[in-house]
Homo-oligomer: A and B are copies of this chain.
């Protein structure tokens, strides 16, 4: 009854901030900090205290006046909300440079997330092992996916191949897709898609820069 496992719909903007709080708390914990207030979190992360408090309330975390939140309890509330409690195994398709980078990304382990295997259509990639993750032939995906009950798929293939891979993932039992290809995937609405579009993201920076430096607009 401590960390109430109530499932609730968390606003997306809040949801985007929660992992930031978690990472911040990891650092605090390492430094031996016991308790932390909204005011301090907000100051360190460039936010405002009220917003932090409201965000944290949505995770079921409770603080104490004058003291703030107990770091360890707050982290439990956050990790529960963010799904770090349960081990998450993912299958990745597309062992190009980005796919390889993700395979080698150590940080996922800290959150109980792992890339169980990678798959690629090209002979050249198959057989490699990156960061302990083997690259298997794409044809093995469906059977292995069913057998291992993997529910998370990562798409790192070029745009042209992405929909096809998504279809294969869905028919193999994948229920949530992390998509790095710059296309809008068409999947049943029982399947959750989260798009990661690096170029799109960079564009935001370009626009912000442009907007804040209008003088550079001379041409």
Contact = CB atoms under 8 A, between A and B. Distances in A.
A13 to B, nearest CB: 9
Nearest to A79: B203
A169 to B, nearest CB: 14
Interface centre among A82, A111, A202 (most CB of B within 10 A): A202
Interface residues of A, number: 69
A45 B182 CA distance: 12
Interface string A7-26: 11110100110111011100
10 contacts: A9-B211, A12-B204, A15-B204, A18-B207, A45-B184, A82-B206, A107-B198, A113-B202, A194-B204, A194-B205
* Secondary structure dominating the interface of A: helix
Given A44-B184, A194-B201, A7 B210 contact: yes
A97 interface: yes
A82 B203 contact: yes
Contact of A209 (B104, B192, B212): B192
